[in-house]
Structure 1
Amino acid sequence: MTSRLLPWGATLSLLASMLFVPMPVASAHRDGCHAAHSCPSDTGSYICGDTGNFSECGYTSLPSVGTPRTFASAAPPPDHEAPDRPAVSRITAAKGGSVSLRVDAERGSKIVVKSKGTKYATVTATGGAQELRFKAPDGKRTFAVTATDAAGNRSSVQRFTVVADAKAPSLDGLVLTSGSSAQAWSLASFNAGEPATYKLFVDGKQVAAGDAGAAQTEVPFPVANGLHVVTVKLADAAGNAAKVRRSITVDIDSLNLEASVGGATSEAQKLTVRGTRDATAVVNGLGDERTFVLTDGTAEIDLDLPDGTYDNVAVTLTDQFGRTGRTLLERVVVDTVRPVVKLVRRTERRTRGRLVLAVGTEAGAALVWRAVDQNGKEVGSGEETTGEDGALVDVDLEEGDYKVETTVRDAAGNETKETQEFHVDSDPWGWWGWSKRILAVLALLFLGLLVAGWRINRKERKEEEARARAEREAVERKAKAERDAEARRLAEIERARLAEEKRQREAAARAEAHRAWEQRGDFLRELCREAREWDGVTAAEVPDGIKLKSGERVYGTSPGVLVEARTRQNVPTLVGADSGTVTVTDRRVVFRGPSKKREWLLDSIDDLQRQDDVFLIGVTQRKTLSGVDLSGQERALLHLNLALAGVTGERDFVVKQQDDALARHLASDPEAVTR
């Protein structure tokens, strides 16, 4: 057989056409055309869409030979479905108006929280529960929550209402009232404007705490004599807090108290004492000494005293700071025995046709009696106070049976009631009986006239003798009066001389006292001016070792003593540690002495105690108390008070103290007192 071979060039062209045919023929089956319609690849064609159907080919016409085939991605369908409404739970309001909630929305959607057109929070949803926080205005408000997906579809609105608390309680109206002798505890009054809790501190130590309502709140608190820093803190239910610091001065010499004994007619007498709350009362003069505490300012105790009279009963009151008061009770009479009452009828002849009763009982009792007939009708009554012999009931009655009711109440209030029945006979005397009575009366009148004439005659003789005796005594009295007058004249001259000498001495003493009073008044007026106007100087001479800071103002420098709080044998004691100078500025108090130096920054003070002219100052950077003694240095004391007022904002209080001191001095003019 003879074989025919292609020319070499034709062979190469065939190989090249086989190697470089375009690739779409290999992807026709992968693109799904074979399953969707009849594919011409079964007949040897590998071009997808050569039947005219291009739905699974990725193109709309056959590619040209030699051009690489590309496939366009199918366009995604449009999204018109809105996300589900967000789920909201665990809504909580906190301080400062902070609101937190848990929200759950479609993943990738945008969560928006709005109210009244204002947007308060925006976050992208994670597809699960997530925490969302935002700050809301104060008060009750309704919020709308929506979720918007990437296609702009917005969910339906989920609403919730919350009461936000962004406002702190108010302490602008805080008023501090110093204690007095009647009630030694001081008083803090304020209106928080809403329910809150309060804490009250004196010199950094908490002394009271409790709940404050929306109305006025009054908080009594104990405080010793002296100048103190009082701090009040408020916190509402959401945690919003307010704080105010003020100073207060307490000066109480003694405590007032009221004491009385009641129930003296019973076996359980009660002693009532009113005064300063939580003070301790001690009672002497009622047998054993009795001690008790005036909780809430009053106390009542049972005495159970035996009958008798108790004089010089003393009640002494002492509060926790050692201030005392004392009072004496009037005589306490204990009488628990009811009076004995005895009714005795008098039956003399002259009492016929009458009911005469002698009421025997103790003197000074109140007697009330009432007589009634058999029908219960009152036929007689009366009231009187019994004497030493008791009392007498006397009433004219017709013949019949009667009941007499008597009530006797003694001075102590013990009461006894007695009821007895009596029969009253008629008066047996007729016309003759009355006639004899009239004759007897006339006889007595005649006898009386005879006696009266004899007495008149005797009286005239005695009066004549008395006149003669009186004339003699008058002459003697006149002579004695002349002698006494001369003695009085001489004594009056001597008294006038002594009085003139005394007047001159007193005038000289008053003049000297008035000069001293005027000098003192001028000094106090200077202090009043300084209290209003003095703000210190920036350039001042200060002791060596004190370097003024930029802008620091010096109020003054004066002699003083450094005092320190120490404990000796477990007893707190103040000791003078060194003598030197005390410099007061608007920022600090500095002591400089030969052996010790000390400095207290005003902004760091957390405890301040004053005892007379001694200031104990506690600062945050120092554990122990120390301070300065400025006894006799009134100007230095004013400078220190002005510096402290610069911290507390109570300069008006310092000015008032100085004005009050000047007013008291002006009211004590020695000339006005002696006029």
Structure 2
Amino acid sequence: MDITAPRQPEVARPHAGKAGRVSLTVTAERGARIEVAETDEYGTAGRTVAKATATGSAQTVTFTAASGSHTYTVTATDAAGNTSDESDDITIDIDADAPAISGFSVADPDAATATSRVAFASEAGAAYELTVSGRKERITGTVGSDGHVSDAGLVLPNGSYTTRLAVTDEAGNVRRAERSVRVDLDALTPRLSADRARGSDQVRFTVTAPPRSKGRLTVGDAVDRAFTTDGDGLATISTPMADGRYPAPVVTVADPYGRTGRTAGRNLVVDTASPAVKVTSDSDRAAHGDLSLTVTTEEHAKVTVAYGSGAHDGFTSTGHAATVVKALTAGTYRVRVSATDAYGNTTTKQLNVAVDDQLTTAEWLVLLVKVLLVLALLVAAWYVHRRTRPAREARRARRAAEQYERELRAWEQERERLVELAEFAAELGGGEGTGSGWPADWGKRKRGESAWWVIDAEMVERSAGGQDVAVRDSGTLVVTAQRVLFVGRSRREWLFGKLLRVEHSCPDITWMQVANRANVSGVRYRREPEKTRIAVESAIAEAPSGQAPELGAGRGALLARLRQAITAHDRQRPSQPEPPTPTPQTGAVPSVTTNAVP
């Protein structure tokens, strides 16, 4: 009779592929029946998702699953019906869904570049490929972090086409879409711009047309140049041109598909001569604190006047003399005057101007009146201060006493709160817990288990990005010496024996990760947050040691921290203010006591 169970199966290289296909490499006793079962959130094996007969060596077991995080265990059962221990949990994140495609469009071609812009939205990071039926054109790339693609473009000859888009996510799932496009360009309209660097006779013409187009640029009899646009449809032609007026430049192009076009720009003026500038300074106004400059230059020139490294003024010249006045402190200033004409040519003049702070007779009289007024105000303020000093000291003492009473009441209330928390932490788990009963909707009570603390709470999980908190259920939080239990529409428990990590974030949220679940979840306790956190910390600290460093640490550190908070608070007790010192009355006559001589 065979009563020996097969050894625990070994599972390696779990892999999730496209369309939710999962493969596990399993090694089990030859001839045994291999069963793969999916476990629930409490670690209990549920439905069987795959079966196989063991070969005695490593073999691959495959099955399919829906998108999401799944946890599986593997068992082996021999011919006598003996079943092995479950394998270690295998948690796999599965993506069985092809990425969605929205907003897929192929625009009509641009008349300047003959480019039809392609736009669509899909899963960020997914690879895409765009092809044209019956042609070699092919565009590939990756969907950006914002989930949109808008910079792809096709250049096609006139005709009707079917474009095919394929988007593939990291798991290999593919989504396809098609769009029709018609190209019907009678003529191209290339774009043309011209600019010149300051002080240079080089004029740079920029042409935008279909990629690999051949063209010609002419400017009257002065310029006649051939060009070919690059892969982005751009061509740059630089040529020297003497000062003067020129007719509008003309561009003609022909793209690789035989389409032609013509564009004329605007009349050109080439001017490399700097404007004439005349600057004079008013020495009389400079002697009394004003820097006054008269600037003359050509009409429409932009003028800038800078005073050293400080402030500056600007204006547009009318062709006549203009005056700029600036009040400055005494000193010598390096003034820079720049004039820039309409064609970018600049002339700069620099001069040193000495500014003095001499005052006129009227300014001296105004200053004297101001000094007398200030002296009168100071005498009046001194007199009022002397007469009202006792009353001010009495008001100040009364305000200080009222402030002391408010601070003392607040200090006493805070001390009562800290003492209550310390006593609460010391008494946790010392009796029957928070109640003698165990309601049926809490589920089955473990041996020797009692509730230390019960409070309203919410079960929470982190969002996909890990930054936001998502509320999954509302109900009751129960803290015992063996676990943290949440009871709402569904039940969730965090057994201390399987606890891997504890994290307190915000004043009222505790996250807990256990070995039988891949996702981190937790509870939010909006009511009595301090006591609830103390209850959770105390229960974990009193539990047997485990993988989480908080397990088995004992409540000593927690109690010491609460006592230290009371001691630190005691040192912050507000001090009673000193009573005001009596002020002797001016002119008071001391009393004299006369003793009669018998």
TM range (shorter): 0.3 to 0.5
Q: As a proportion of its length, which structure holds more strand?
A: 2
Higher helix share: 1
After TM superposition, the score normalised by the length of structure 2 is 0.46
